[in-house]
């Protein structure tokens, strides 16, 4: 604030100095001649008007005109000492030229009737902040202060908002699974609370990254460890079939459970590979409608066994850049999920649109999902209802794989409940230009 005031005063002082320089060019004799002419032509009233206009025409002084009775024409108070000096002065009886008598201690104006008006020039008393009383100076100070304070506020806002935006961006990246982000590398050197917050954010992100890496490593290790005994179990089942033909039903049930476990292990390993990024996607241009119809055809046998009808998609020439195997896996997981949860003798709707983005919509006629869990169903091993999951045989991995595949392709996946019951899942991908 002190800096702003100093800048404003310096600027105003420069303007005042310029005005003073202009005022120094005024000739006092010329002013007296003008005053005498006004007195001679218009009398006392015209002289008074002139004085109102020019009482401050000279720099640093005030002009007074004292009438024959000893009063200022503008009714201003005149110092007594100055009046005493005037009274000691005895004017010459000679009528001066142009009505101006250049005498000391003060010049005099002589009117048409030889009345004497004394002209005094008294130094103006300095006042605190007197510079602010000059014409135009307050507005100049205000404008300069406004510009300087506005620029200072802009710098301060930028200094504070820029690191906050970086923290906001980092938070959004962490929310989308990018745990390697570290905003403290750019703003952690700050000594204020924002720098401290950035350093704490880095420590939190490091802990989350290590925890996620440990979880992925544990899932991978467990899955690999389960593969070996599962393979031996399947071999033992085949040997048991040959030795005990009468126990075929029980052995078939054990085989189905073993196959289910083998499928779950495969899904877990696939999810771990997607999360780790160890297998780069084989991106190529594909026809989305053709891929969706292929997945529908592969799932139709399971749907027929459950008495469920699946709609088909008309060719629309919607092209996307995608890994065919990964995208087919994601679509198959969503579609099988819909076939499992939809009510018997109903239809699973499948649609593809290409307005700006490429969207695949799969909708069933099941019981839907609670609104509070619509986002959580895409998390690994999330169960909406234990009884429902046990009945359907779901393990909570398929939708997590679909969500990860969507992110790999630069898209997203959304779930909403249908008005008349059921769940609608939309897989949104960027369309090839």
Residue 322 has pLDDT above 80, yes or no: yes
Look at residue 150 and tell me if it is in a domain: no
- pLDDT mean across residues, the chain: 78
Average pLDDT over residues 337-348: 91
Average pLDDT over residues 412-419: 93
CATH number at 59 reads 3.30.450
123-147 confidence digits (pLDDT tens): 766 555 555 555 566 777 778 788 8
Last residue of some domain: 245, 279, 313? Answer: 279
Residue 156, class by beta-carbon neighbours within 10 Å (0-12 exposed, 13-18 middle, 19+ buried)? exposed
* pLDDT the model gives residue 290: 92
Look at residue 300 and tell me if it is in a domain: yes
Same domain, residue pair 389 and 311: yes
Last residue of some domain: 135, 156, 179? Answer: 135
Query: Which of residues 270 and 11 earns the better pLDDT score?
Result: 270
Same domain, residue pair 190 and 125: no
Look at residue 155 and tell me if it is in a domain: no
Average pLDDT over residues 224-236: 74
| N residues, the chain | 433
* pLDDT the model gives residue 23: 40
278 — pLDDT class (breaks 50, 70, 90) = low
Query: Which of residues 333 and 113 earns the better pLDDT score?
Result: 333
Query: Which of residues 221 and 183 earns the better pLDDT score?
Result: 183
DSSP designation for 50: H
20 — pLDDT class (breaks 50, 70, 90) = very low
Question: How do 107-110 and 309-310 pair as beta strands?
Answer: unpaired
Tell me the pTM: 0.50
Residue 46 has pLDDT above 60, yes or no: yes
Look at residue 106 and tell me if it is in a domain: yes
24-43 confidence digits (pLDDT tens): 444 567 778 888 888 888 88
CA 45 to CA 67: how far, in whole Å? 12
* pLDDT the model gives residue 62: 81
Residue 390 has pLDDT above 50, yes or no: no
Residue 150 has pLDDT above 80, yes or no: yes
Look at residue 397 and tell me if it is in a domain: yes
Query: Which of residues 277 and 195 earns the better pLDDT score?
Result: 195
Least confident of 124-128, 193-197, 401-405, 412-416: 124-128
327 — pLDDT class (breaks 50, 70, 90) = very high
Query: Which of residues 188 and 287 earns the better pLDDT score?
Result: 287
Cα 399 to Cα 103, 169, 190, 295, distances in angstroms: 108, 27, 42, 16
Same domain, residue pair 419 and 325: yes
Least confident of 222-226, 286-290, 406-410: 222-226
* pLDDT the model gives residue 19: 46
CATH number at 245 reads 1.10.287.130
Report CA 389 to chain centroid distance, whole Å: 43
Report CA 21 to chain centroid distance, whole Å: 51
The residue written with tokens 């065919």 in the block is 324
* pLDDT the model gives residue 3: 54
Same domain, residue pair 177 and 291: no
* pLDDT the model gives residue 103: 57
Average pLDDT over residues 39-66: 81
CA 382 to CA 97: how far, in whole Å? 112
280-313 confidence digits (pLDDT tens): 778 899 999 999 999 999 899 889 988 999 987 7
* pLDDT the model gives residue 388: 45
Residue 350 has pLDDT above 90, yes or no: yes
pLDDT more than 90, % of the chain: 16
pLDDT more than 70, % of the chain: 78
Same domain, residue pair 272 and 254: yes
Residue 69 has pLDDT above 60, yes or no: yes
Same domain, residue pair 294 and 259: no
Residue 28, class by beta-carbon neighbours within 10 Å (0-12 exposed, 13-18 middle, 19+ buried)? middle
Same domain, residue pair 235 and 322: no
Helices (H), 176-323: 184-187, 193-243, 248-276, 288-305
Query: Which of residues 78 and 124 earns the better pLDDT score?
Result: 78
Query: Which of residues 3 and 202 earns the better pLDDT score?
Result: 202
* pLDDT the model gives residue 426: 95
Same domain, residue pair 267 and 290: no
Strands annotated E in 1-144: 61-66, 100-101, 107-110, 116-123
Residue 387 has pLDDT above 50, yes or no: no
Q: Domain residues for 49?
A: 2-135
Closest CA to 370 of 385, 392, 386: 385
Closest CA to 202 of 150, 248, 166: 166
């Amino acid at each position: 604030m002190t800096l702003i005031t100093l800048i404003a005063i310096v600027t105003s002082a420069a303007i005042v100095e310029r005005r003073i320089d202009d005022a120094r060019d005024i000739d006092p004799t010329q002013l007296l001649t003008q005053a005498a002419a006004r007195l001679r032509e218009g009398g006392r009233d015209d002289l008074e008007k002139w004085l109102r206009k020019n009482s401050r025409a000279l720099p640093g002084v005030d002009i007074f005109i004292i009438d024959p009775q000893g009063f200022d024409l503008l009714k201003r108070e005149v110092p007594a000492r100055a009046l005493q000096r005037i009274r000691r002065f005895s004017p010459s009886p000679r009528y001066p030229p142009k009505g101006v008598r250049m005498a000391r201690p003060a010049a005099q104006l002589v009117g048409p009737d030889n009345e004497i008006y004394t002209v005094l020039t008294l130094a103006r008393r300095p006042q605190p902040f007197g510079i602010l009383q000059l014409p135009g100076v307050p507005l100049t100070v205000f404008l300069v202060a406004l510009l300087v304070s506005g620029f200072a506020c802009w710098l301060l806002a930028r200094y504070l908002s820029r690191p906050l935006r970086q923290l906001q961006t980092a938070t959004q990246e962490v929310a989308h699974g990018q745990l390697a982000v570290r905003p403290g590398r750019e703003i952690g050197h700050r000594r204020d609370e924002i720098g401290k917050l950035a350093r704490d954010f880095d420590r939190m992100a490091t802990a989350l990254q290590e925890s996620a890496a440990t979880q992925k490593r544990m899932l991978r290790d467990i899955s690999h460890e389960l593969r070996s005994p599962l393979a031996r179990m399947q071999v033992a089942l085949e040997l048991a079939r040959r030795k005990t033909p009468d126990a075929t039903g029980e052995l078939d049930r054990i085989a189905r459970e073993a196959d289910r476990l083998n499928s779950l292990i495969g899904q877990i390993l696939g999810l771990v590979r997607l999360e780790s990024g160890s297998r780069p996607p084989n991106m190529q241009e594909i026809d989305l409608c053709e891929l969706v119809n292929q997945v529908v055809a592969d799932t139709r046998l399971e749907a027929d066994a459950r008495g469920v009808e699946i709609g088909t998609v008309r060719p629309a020439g919607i092209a996307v850049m995608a890994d065919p195997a990964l995208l087919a896996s994601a679509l198959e997981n969503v579609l099988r999920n819909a076939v499992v949860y939809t009510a018997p003798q109903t239809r699973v709707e499948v649609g593809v649109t290409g307005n700006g983005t490429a969207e695949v919509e799969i909708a069933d006629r099941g019981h839907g999902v609670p609104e509070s869990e619509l986002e959580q169903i895409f998390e690994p091993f999330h169960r909406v209802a234990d009884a429902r999951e046990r009945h359907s045989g779901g393990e909570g991995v398929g939708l997590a794989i679909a969500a990860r595949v969507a992110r790999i392709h630069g898209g997203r996946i959304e779930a909403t409940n249908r008005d008349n019951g059921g769940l609608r899942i939309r897989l949104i991908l960027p369309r090839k230009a």
